[in-house]
Chain A
Amino acid sequence: MRTPTPLTVESLTKVYGEVTALRDVSFTAQAGRVTGFLGPNGAGKTSTLRILLGLNRPTAGRALIDGQRYRELSAPLRRVGGSLSSDVFHPGRSGRDHLLTLALASGIERARVDAVLTQVGLADAARRRVGGYSLGMRQRLGLAAALLGDPDALVLDEPINGLDPDGIRWMRGLLRQLADEGRTVLLSSHVLSEVQQTVDDVVVIRHGRIAFDGPLEALEAGTARVRVDAADRDALADALRRAGATVEPGPAGLSVLGLDVARTGEVALAAGLALTHLSDETDGLESVFLALTADEAQAAAAPADAPGVATSAEGSAA
């Protein structure tokens, strides 16, 4: 069994000159789960991941790999593998030689180089110069580098980017398998739908702040919304509230959160109320995600009141 290696980010703040890229960012990626780190480009995903891997220094806060900073790990590539960009290869060096230099630096046995090249499907191209690789091949080489030390945790920045449909399917399967083996998998994306089928947990970042942190089901559950109406609207609202729903009155009936259509109908029947309207108004996950990550003005127009959504006490971001 693998050593559970949670990746923990604690109150990270990162200031670049005048720009505050991260404000008090905290979350944990758990072992055995795929955590999707989501947000629009420029929200602070890459900054967070680079701090986690010891490449950048935080202005405040810390990032830990199973309780240790990256720089404190005695054999970092064996604990956590990272792939942060597909532009980290010398075009004149072969993919195999790139991995060999990393294996030598980390004291990893050479046999792993060919093993990971085969695992990511690059065995045939291994001795060719990286300059001739496609974006998808460089993504695979980056993943091979991350897997080189057979690590307990993986940190991947936009790993789906640049892959063809076959590659995406393969990548999803591999990420699932790696998590099922007990590894921590933290991956970033700016498109929820890209990773929706793969992730267990979701951390959404917007303007350098965490906007949502929880299991994917919580994000989904928060979106279930039923519109219902009856002649005696107040009685219906009371009955639904007693059944545990959050009810918002609106011009076209009641907006119900926390109950699905069938359960709403049952509650109305039990209360002896005849419904004049009943419909499923559930938003797609993507629209919830878009609402979470929208700019201030749009966010105000489309309030995202899903449970688990962190409300920012300080108000609008600069």
Chain B
Amino acid sequence: MSTLTALGRATASELAKVFSLKSWWLLGLILVAYVGMTAAGLAFFLSDAGALLAGAAGGGAPAPELDPVVIANLVYSSVTAVGLVIPLLFGALIVTTEYRHGTLTPTTLAQPRRGIVLTAKAIVAALMGALYGVLGLIGSVGLGAPVLAALGEDTALGEPEVIGVLLRTLVATALWSLLGLGLGALLTSQIAAIVIVLAFTQFVEPILRLVAGVWEWSAQLGRFLPGSATDALVGAGILSSLNALDPTVPVAAVDALTWWQGGLVLGGLAAVLLVAAALTTGRRDVE
């Protein structure tokens, strides 16, 4: 049996595993709701109505007039701003669940070449990651655009720049799902993977990104953090756009990565994790 046939069969098996459990659509539901509410909130506060409200309440300097494309990109990129934790978790879960429930034994009996199983999981992680990207956009565009329109703002959905952001969002969610897979395959412990994913995405990385911006040398390094690389890849992000929103925030001391550099950073990190897992946990006895 050729390797390609084996890979095709393993991929079909991995897809069947995903769709025979509830977790994939539960995660999707959470993603749509979380991203949708974030996008609606952003759309409101970035609109003139929101700015007026903020100005009235804060009594500070009037907010600058924002380019509709910048607003639209920020609203629609809620997927990558807050939603990446979902594909990341998904990727980590599809491998750690095999260790947790002992299903790695039947999986390995059916396909003893473990590199093929991991490759099949990577294909499924990328496909499902892109699907989560679509679901995220259903949330961010589906709720963000009507709010913008209702508040009299331009939804900018026909703008090539905005369409580019939407398409690259799918690449980002696919890559984050692969990052989760690599992390999960390396850790094997489901609890450890979940704790690390939540702690890193919710606390550690945002803090690192803010602190990294303080000095030039750290800003150079900070560009390679997964979140910064993602903003570069997608072309929009709250933390990368602080200057556009509030001119009192200084312009970043270093140039951001280009979109393809950002993609390469994420893809490279995922590849390193996956190869490391294949060489370590992938060679251990199946217990």
What is the interface of chain A, defined by CB distance below 8 A to chain B?
50, 53-57, 70-71, 73-77, 82, 84-85, 87-94, 97-98, 100-102, 104-107, 145
A-B pairs under 8 A by CB, number: 85
- Chain B: minimal CB distance from A221 (Å): 37
What residues on B are CB-neighbors of A71 within 8 Å? 112-113
- Chain A: minimal CB distance from B95 (Å): 13
Chain A binder among B9-17, B160-168, B264-272 = B9-17
Q: Give Cα A50–Cα B109 distance, bound, in whole angstroms.
A: 10
Are B110 and A105 in contact, with the CB atoms below 8 A?
yes
What residues on A are CB-neighbors of B111 within 8 Å? 105-106
Choose from A55, A75, A93, A101 the contact partner of B105 (Cβ within 8 Å). A55
Q: A55-B105, A105-B10 are in contact. Are A100 and B112 (CB under 8 A)?
A: no
Choose from B9, B10, B103, B108 the contact partner of A90 (Cβ within 8 Å). B103
Q: Give Cα A246–Cα B7 distance, bound, in whole angstroms.
A: 62
- Chain A: minimal CB distance from B122 (Å): 16
What is the interface of chain B, defined by CB distance below 8 A to chain A?
1, 5, 9-10, 12-13, 16-17, 20-23, 97, 101-103, 105-113, 285-286
What residues on A are CB-neighbors of B286 within 8 Å? 50, 55-56
Q: A55-B286, A93-B20, A104-B16 are in contact. Are A88 and B110 (CB under 8 A)?
A: no
A-B residue pairs in contact (CB < 8 Å), sample of 18: A50-B286, A55-B286, A70-B112, A71-B113, A85-B105, A87-B101, A89-B103, A90-B103, A93-B21, A101-B16, A101-B17, A101-B20, A101-B110, A102-B13, A104-B9, A104-B16, A107-B1, A145-B106
Chain A residue at minimal CB-CB distance from B285: A56
7 further A-B pairs in the complex, CB-CB below 8 A; given A92-B22, A93-B17, A98-B20: A50-B286, A55-B286, A57-B285, A71-B112, A97-B20, A104-B13, A106-B111
Q: A93-B20, A104-B12, A107-B5 are in contact. Are A82 and B103 (CB under 8 A)?
A: no
Q: Give Cα A73–Cα B109 distance, bound, in whole angstroms.
A: 11
What residues on B are CB-neighbors of A92 within 8 Å? 21-23
Q: Give Cα A50–Cα B286 distance, bound, in whole angstroms.
A: 8
Are A105 and B13 in contact, with the CB atoms below 8 A?
yes
Are A91 and B107 in contact, with the CB atoms below 8 A?
no
What residues on B are CB-neighbors of A82 within 8 Å? 109
What residues on A are CB-neighbors of B13 within 8 Å? 101-102, 104-105
Are A100 and B20 in contact, with the CB atoms below 8 A?
yes
Q: A71-B112, A102-B13, A106-B9 are in contact. Are A91 and B101 (CB under 8 A)?
A: yes
Are A105 and B112 in contact, with the CB atoms below 8 A?
no
Q: A92-B22, A101-B20 are in contact. Are A76 and B101 (CB under 8 A)?
A: no
What residues on A are CB-neighbors of B103 within 8 Å? 88-90
Are A55 and B20 in contact, with the CB atoms below 8 A?
no
* A56, A77, A91, A93, most chain B CB atoms within 10 A: A93
* A92, A93, A102, A105, most chain B CB atoms within 10 A: A105
Are A75 and B1 in contact, with the CB atoms below 8 A?
yes
What residues on A are CB-neighbors of B10 within 8 Å? 105
